[in-house]
Chain A
């Protein structure tokens, strides 16, 4: 046999950054193709957040409209959509945990770790693919929201800023989920961990309802936790300052949301990379 032989091969190890970038591109594409080619998965994962949105809109809407701040224009849909976008940014991030977990079960992570693959590329490829996927679903949610009567009250740039902020926060959450997906070995345990983080954080927030009616101790948590901050920032950017609780400004909430995003990334990117290096199936 002369063709499949052992021969020196040009290596790009001399350019570590270029290599990391190339590998990230290769793996992002791989992960995105799974979304595109496995049609049922794509369809169901896009339908679920929309059903969720419509459900909350019609189940809660009627009861809540009177309690809303005037900036919502008396319609729950205006209040809900920015909150839902913040909520989905977190929900969409849980895909990262399952994706990495499945890759470990199928032996793909082992293969990647045995290759001269840039250390950061497997995680970056995963989180970037999930970011793209979240972007598509957020746009879909926004589109359906507009069909159901959502009307942004500010400007196009502010709307784009809101979408960017939601995605940036979702990207940061992906790294929490990456850490979780690699550190926890068991599928059910991951599910439990995801739900015990995602549900309380999204429910005890300003995503669905203003926080004022919650008991004091709960309200104290709900007002300060990052999902509320992000939901407030999105509301401010899409509906204007009147949509915010008294004493809050759009700029203030936006900056705070960016600080949370940066803080999560600072803590969880190194943690996830460490989990990846240690992950052994």
Chain B
């Protein structure tokens, strides 16, 4: 079966210097949630924008639902939904009016749009607030209205660019449930996220993008198995980082996780690796302040693949990081 999304050798340049996408290829089978991960500036949003017909690729082939996104853009738009990084809903319209409007723009008649809107509103559990203007909504409610608006046209493929950024934890779970239900109903979802646990929870397949290329792909379990059965995490005083990296280099390549402030290395032999590492540090006269051995998380995979700790921003302080 042809994958519902085909991306072959896509290049996108911005100006002369920047190659946001540098020969990227990936395939998304129908009916799954595909998570796109990558550090800030890796090209995730550029890829989403090309897939959603907002941006033209400079080179390569992009097909969505069997259609060329450039030459058959209009037909592609009939089959996709997009929820961007910001909830693109109108504050001065009610929740219901927002969704009905998008339904009309998908080509539904007034009556069809009204009927579909009721269905979608029930689905996202905002029925009771639907008559209120959206500017009175909380951030999480706005997000849900935004998602609902992209559902009203019954898209085959839904693109979600950071669907839960700025959403409180309780609403996050609701958005996740909604996304899972969509996939059960036959929609293919492609999402970017800065939360690795979100990708872990939701995605059937994950593609890791770095410098405009796909650097790894697989199920979350497959990705985690790349880093071995366990990872070793060491807290070392800042002044001794370089010496520690060198000492540990004999055992396995160590990486510095800026966000956790720790050195991380694959522990191929579990506890034995831990013992080797401590011995090597002892020889170098370095004493770690903390040591941990744990099963790999997507954070560890991500660090190993891209050399940075998180996908985008520091989770604990997203506001500061975006300023």
Contact = CB atoms under 8 A, between A and B. Distances in A.
Interface of A: 1-7, 9-13, 19, 22-23, 26-27, 30, 33-34, 37-38, 106-108, 110-117, 121, 280
B96 to A, nearest CB: 13
B88 interface: yes
Contacts of B52: 110, 114
Contacts of A115: 77, 102, 105-106, 153
Contact of A34 (B92, B109, B186): B92
Given A6-B185, A111-B84, 10 more contacts: A1-B182, A4-B119, A4-B181, A6-B187, A107-B84, A107-B85, A110-B82, A112-B105, A116-B74, A117-B105
B49 A280 contact: yes
Contact of B153 (A9, A22, A37, A110): A9
Interface string B211-247: 0000000000000000000000000000000000000
Interface-central residue, A10, A23, A106, A121, by most chain B CB under 10 Å: A106
Contact of A12 (B49, B53, B81, B107): B107
B227 to A, nearest CB: 36
Interface residues of B, number: 47
B80 A9 contact: no
A216 B92 CA distance: 50
B197 interface: no
Closest 7 CB pairs of A and B: A107-B88, A114-B82, A116-B77, A6-B186, A111-B88, A5-B185, A37-B92
A106 B90 CA distance: 9
Contacts of B84: 107, 110-111
Interface in B72-93: 74, 77-78, 80-82, 84-88, 90, 92-93
B123 A116 contact: no
Given A106-B86, A106-B88, A114-B82, A1 B181 contact: yes
Contacts of A2: 185
Q: Decide if the interface of chain A is mainly helix, strand, loop or mixed.
A: loop
Contact of A13 (B74, B108, B112, B120): B74
Contacts of B77: 114-117
Given A1-B181, A4-B185, A9-B154, A113 B53 contact: yes
B149 to A, nearest CB: 8
Contacts of A22: 104
Contacts of A27: 101, 105
A3 B121 CA distance: 11
B133 interface: yes
A19 B156 contact: no
Contacts of A10: 107-109, 112
B54 A113 contact: yes
Contacts of A114: 52-54, 77, 80-82
17 contacts: A1-B185, A3-B119, A4-B119, A4-B120, A6-B187, A9-B108, A9-B154, A12-B107, A33-B93, A106-B88, A110-B54, A111-B82, A111-B84, A111-B102, A114-B81, A115-B105, A116-B74
Nearest to B77: A116
Contacts of B285: none
A10 to B, nearest CB: 7
A105 to B, nearest CB: 9
Given A4-B123, A114-B80, A30 B90 contact: yes
Contacts of B49: 110, 280
Contacts of B185: 1-2, 4-6
Contacts of B123: 1, 3-4
Interface string B140-157: 000000000111011110
Nearest to B184: A1
Interface-central residue, A4, A11, A33, A37, by most chain B CB under 10 Å: A4
B55 interface: yes
Nearest to A118: B105
A138 to B, nearest CB: 23
